[in-house]
Amino acid sequence: EVQLVESGGGLVQPGGSLRVSCAASGFTFSSYWMRWVRQAPGKGLEWVANIREDGREKYYVDSVKGRFTISRDNAKNSLYLQMNSLRAEDTAVYYCAREVKGVTYYDSNGYHYYYAMDVWGQGTRVTVSS
């Protein structure tokens, strides 16, 4: 069964640090880009960060740049999000998700791709509060 299981959430004080993890199983983890998406209480979804299959390319939403670091260990089939200098507005459920990519069509401009997050974990709750 294809599965993602997050862990490591909890209560942390403002300015503190926390690392959340995501354990993957049932698929070849090293063949996929992976993402973190968060959801503040009662709010919508927000993409946080993503990482290439080999870990050498990473991207972040502006609000977490310089504070959060995404990483992965393909030998352990695991994805991580190190969160430093945490703020109250970082309070959310953090989901990891697998990203798939495929060819939509080909034209004179080359290949056009689709991207989608097809497998999600159950989420881990992070609360930043004093």
Partner 1 sequence: EIVMTQSPATLSVSPGERATLSCRASQSISSNLAWYQQKPGQAPRLLIYGASTRATGIPARFSGSGSGTDFTLTISSLQSEDFAVYYCQQYNNWPMYTFGQGTKLEIK
How near is the Cβ of 18 to partner 1 at its closest, in Å? 20
**Number of chain positions touching partner 1 (CB under 8 A):** 23
Calculate the CA 50 to chain-centre distance.
6
Q: What minimum distance in Å lies between the beta carbon of 79 and partner 1?
A: 15
**Least separation, in Å, of the C-beta of 47 and partner 1?**
4
x/- letters, 85..114, toward partner 1 (CB under 8 A): ----------x--------x-------xxx
Residues 28-67 that bind partner 1 (CB under 8 A): 33, 35, 37, 44-47, 50, 59, 61
Contact status: 121 vs partner 1 (CB under 8 A): yes
User: What gap in Å lies between CA 68 and CA 49, rounded to an integer?
Assistant: 8
Instruction: State the nearest-atom distance from the C-beta of 12 to partner 1, in Å.
Output: 22
Instruction: Give the type of residue at 82.
Output: Q
DSSP string, the chain: --EEEEE--EEE-TT--EEEEEEEESS-GGGSEEEEEEE-TT--EEEEEEE-TTS--EEE-GGGTTTEEEEEEGGGTEEEEEE-S--GGG-EEEEEEEEEEEEEEEETTEEEEEEEEEEE---EEEEE--
**Residue 3, interface with partner 1 (CB under 8 A)?**
no
The footprint of partner 1 (CB under 8 A) covers 33, 35, 37, 44-47, 50, 59, 61, 95, 104, 112-118, 120-123
